[in-house]
Amino acid sequence: MGIPARPGRRGFTLMELLVVITVIVILVCLLLPAVQAAREAGRRSSCCNHLAQLGIALHQYEIVHGVLPPGVVDAKGPIRSEPAGYHMGWLVQLLPYMEERNAFRAVDFSAGVYHQRNARVRAHRIAWLLCPSDQGLSAVPATVAPSSYAGCHHDREAPIDKDNNGVLFLNSRIGQHDVLDGTSHTIYAGEKPLDGAQELGWMSGTRATLRNAGTPGMAGVPGRPGPGLPGSGFWPNGGGIELDQAKSPPADTPLTEALTVGTFGSSHPGGANFLFGDGNVRLLSGGMLLLGNLANRADGSLTHDY
């Protein structure tokens, strides 16, 4: 009696294999945007936390000194965004309130920001001064530690000077009583893009740590007008240099680029994070008029639609 033949096993056909691979690819393509969105939400939350820490440091400084730190300390203005001058910025004054007392003690206040005696501190990178969504860090020289956040010096594009209407500007001493619009309706700081090889660092009280609510398209490098940052809900395509003509030289002189400050900017989808004087951090995606009203500490405008 013979042994019955065992039925042969049927394998996958090429067509079935291709169908399975196609289904897997489709599922991955559907899942990837959700994963990226979750990662960006985490980065944006981390960025909000960084700005909130800045708000706490500013509040503590104001409790001790009665005023906010000067946006930049220098003997004269307007401030030129170039590595020459004293230019001691507002973030330097906040170091003792940011758990960076060793860095504060290492600053030589008898020398300017760019002096060799301050080179070690200038290269000291502080993790929570960097937005995790900002991809421009690799282009910044290793000798400069940058900041993704800037104080608000003015409500429009103008050089950094002693008569700006923000809260952090040249030799400023702004207290809560000077913020006539109310701290909950006034921007103190916000996100800004890194300037790559032109970055002057978090110590510098130039466009590296001060920005305004000015011209669309000027969130990036000075002298290179163009579209706003990808993902930002503030800055539409177009826009160019638009300086305060009462203070700035003719546009064809080299001084124009040095005095250009630029506006805020972000790589987050839908807008940029801003720190208000009451400590709240909000993602704003409104127009430039709204941003200008919030940047001016005492313009009397009603801005409740953000």
Each residue of 194-224: pLDDT tens digit? 888 889 999 999 999 999 998 665 555 444 4
Percent of the chain clearing pLDDT 70 (strictly above):
76
Q: Is the pLDDT score of 232 beyond 50? A: no
Q: Rounded to whole angstroms, how far apart are CA atoms 74 and 203?
A: 13
Q: Is the pLDDT score of 70 beyond 80? A: yes
Name the residue with higher pLDDT: 181 or 134: 181
Both structure tokens of 13 = 């056909």
For residue 247, the model assigns a pLDDT of: 37
Burial 220-233 (b: 16+ CB within 10 A, else e): bbbeebeebbeebb
Please state, in angstroms and as integers, the Cα–Cα distance from residue 151 to each residue in 13, 31, 176, 186, following that order.
Answer: 64, 38, 16, 12
Q: Rounded to whole angstroms, how far apart are CA atoms 2 and 5?
A: 9
- Name the residue among 66, 67, 102, 107 with its Cα closest to residue 88: 107
For residue 187, the model assigns a pLDDT of: 95
Percent of the chain clearing pLDDT 90 (strictly above):
52
Q: Is the pLDDT score of 249 beyond 70? A: no
The pTM of the full predicted model, rounded to 2 decimals, is: 0.79
> One-letter amino acid identity for 29?
C
For residue 288, the model assigns a pLDDT of: 59
- Greatest mean pLDDT range, 14-23, 230-239, 289-298: 289-298
Residue-wise pLDDT for 76-132, tens only, equals 989 999 999 999 999 999 999 999 999 999 999 999 999 999 999 999 999 989 998
If DSSP states are collapsed to H, E and C, what string results for 211-262? Answer: EECCCCCCCCCCCCCCCCCCCCCCCCCCCCCCCCCCCCCCCCCCHHHHHCCC
Alpha-carbon dihedral 95, 96, 98, 102, rounded to 10 degrees: 70
For residue 301, the model assigns a pLDDT of: 77
Q: Rounded to whole angstroms, how far apart are CA atoms 140 and 35?
A: 29
For residue 246, the model assigns a pLDDT of: 36
For residue 289, the model assigns a pLDDT of: 64
The domain ranges of the chain are 27-295
Q: How far apart are the first and last CA of the chain?
A: 89
In degrees and rounded to multiples of 5, residue 40 shows phi and psi of -65, -35
Residue-wise pLDDT for 142-186, tens only, equals 899 999 999 999 999 999 999 999 999 999 999 999 999 999 999
- Residue 78: is the preceding peptide bond cis (ω within 30°)? yes
Q: Please, which residues bridge with residue 73 across strands?
A: 88
